[in-house]
Amino acid sequence: MCPTGPVGFGSIGAAFALIFDPSSITEFRGAKKLLISNDLNNPVLLSWDGTNTHFRLKSSQDLVLDNAGDQMTFDRPLYCKHDGAAPTSGKITVLLISA
Protein backbone atom coordinates (compact mmCIF):
# COMPACT_ATOMS: atom_id res chain seq x y z
CA MET A 1 0.00 0.00 0.00
CA CYS A 2 1.09 3.54 -0.60
CA PRO A 3 -0.47 6.26 1.54
CA THR A 4 -0.47 9.68 -0.02
CA GLY A 5 -0.85 11.33 3.36
CA PRO A 6 -4.06 12.27 5.10
CA VAL A 7 -5.65 15.63 4.38
CA GLY A 8 -7.00 17.29 7.52
CA PHE A 9 -10.43 18.85 7.88
CA GLY A 10 -9.04 22.39 7.67
CA SER A 11 -7.90 21.80 4.07
CA ILE A 12 -11.35 20.74 2.83
CA GLY A 13 -13.20 23.84 1.63
CA ALA A 14 -16.17 24.86 -0.50
CA ALA A 15 -14.13 24.62 -3.74
CA PHE A 16 -12.44 21.52 -5.09
CA ALA A 17 -8.87 21.17 -3.79
CA LEU A 18 -6.23 18.64 -4.79
CA ILE A 19 -5.97 15.71 -2.33
CA PHE A 20 -4.18 13.12 -4.49
CA ASP A 21 -1.44 13.77 -7.05
CA PRO A 22 -0.29 10.58 -8.77
CA SER A 23 2.56 12.35 -10.55
CA SER A 24 4.49 12.33 -7.26
CA ILE A 25 4.18 8.52 -6.84
CA THR A 26 6.31 6.54 -9.28
CA GLU A 27 6.60 3.19 -7.49
CA PHE A 28 2.89 2.33 -7.78
CA ARG A 29 2.12 2.99 -11.45
CA GLY A 30 0.46 -0.45 -11.76
CA ALA A 31 -1.83 -0.03 -8.76
CA LYS A 32 -4.87 -2.30 -8.78
CA LYS A 33 -7.01 -0.53 -6.18
CA LEU A 34 -7.56 2.97 -4.89
CA LEU A 35 -9.00 3.34 -1.39
CA ILE A 36 -10.47 6.67 -0.31
CA SER A 37 -11.37 6.86 3.36
CA ASN A 38 -13.51 9.73 4.64
CA ASP A 39 -12.90 10.07 8.38
CA LEU A 40 -14.28 13.61 8.37
CA ASN A 41 -17.38 14.46 10.39
CA ASN A 42 -19.24 15.66 7.25
CA PRO A 43 -19.76 14.35 3.70
CA VAL A 44 -17.48 15.28 0.82
CA LEU A 45 -17.64 15.41 -2.97
CA LEU A 46 -14.81 13.96 -5.07
CA SER A 47 -13.79 14.91 -8.58
CA TRP A 48 -11.28 13.62 -11.14
CA ASP A 49 -11.17 16.95 -12.99
CA GLY A 50 -11.63 19.53 -10.23
CA THR A 51 -14.90 20.76 -11.74
CA ASN A 52 -17.47 17.95 -11.92
CA THR A 53 -18.59 15.78 -9.02
CA HIS A 54 -17.89 12.08 -9.62
CA PHE A 55 -18.43 10.61 -6.14
CA ARG A 56 -20.05 11.55 -2.83
CA LEU A 57 -18.73 10.06 0.40
CA LYS A 58 -20.70 10.25 3.62
CA SER A 59 -18.92 10.79 6.91
CA SER A 60 -16.99 7.65 7.95
CA GLN A 61 -17.50 6.07 4.51
CA ASP A 62 -14.83 4.37 2.39
CA LEU A 63 -14.72 4.01 -1.38
CA VAL A 64 -12.67 1.29 -3.10
CA LEU A 65 -12.08 1.56 -6.84
CA ASP A 66 -10.93 -1.80 -8.19
CA ASN A 67 -8.87 -2.03 -11.36
CA ALA A 68 -8.63 -5.83 -11.44
CA GLY A 69 -9.69 -5.90 -15.09
CA ASP A 70 -7.22 -3.17 -16.09
CA GLN A 71 -10.09 -1.02 -17.36
CA MET A 72 -8.94 2.14 -15.58
CA THR A 73 -5.77 3.79 -14.44
CA PHE A 74 -5.15 5.80 -11.32
CA ASP A 75 -3.02 8.38 -13.08
CA ARG A 76 -5.39 11.32 -12.65
CA PRO A 77 -5.40 13.76 -9.74
CA LEU A 78 -8.28 13.60 -7.28
CA TYR A 79 -9.98 16.68 -5.84
CA CYS A 80 -12.26 17.09 -2.84
CA LYS A 81 -14.65 19.64 -1.36
CA HIS A 82 -17.18 19.53 1.46
CA ASP A 83 -20.82 18.81 0.72
CA GLY A 84 -22.88 21.18 2.84
CA ALA A 85 -21.33 22.23 6.14
CA ALA A 86 -17.56 22.37 6.40
CA PRO A 87 -15.99 19.55 8.41
CA THR A 88 -14.76 20.42 11.89
CA SER A 89 -12.79 17.26 12.63
CA GLY A 90 -11.15 14.28 10.97
CA LYS A 91 -9.24 13.63 7.78
CA ILE A 92 -9.54 12.07 4.34
CA THR A 93 -6.95 9.54 3.20
CA VAL A 94 -6.14 8.10 -0.25
CA LEU A 95 -4.27 4.79 -0.54
CA LEU A 96 -2.97 3.03 -3.64
CA ILE A 97 -2.93 -0.76 -3.34
CA SER A 98 -0.61 -2.60 -5.69
CA ALA A 99 -1.79 -6.18 -5.26
Domain boundaries, given as residue ranges, for the chain: 1-11+31-64+86-94
What single-letter amino acid sits at 85? A
The model's pTM is: 0.85
- Residues of the chain falling short of pLDDT 50: 1-2
| pLDDT attached to residue 69 | 64
| pLDDT attached to residue 45 | 95
| pLDDT attached to residue 29 | 62
Report the distance separating Cα 67 and Cα 97, nearest Å: 10
Beta strand 17-20 pairing with 44-47: unpaired
Q: Which percentage of the chain shows pLDDT scores above 70?
A: 80
At 66, give phi and psi (nearest 5°): -105, 125
Report the distance separating Cα 21 and Cα 18, nearest Å: 7
| pLDDT attached to residue 49 | 92
Whether 46 contacts 36, CB under 8 Å: yes
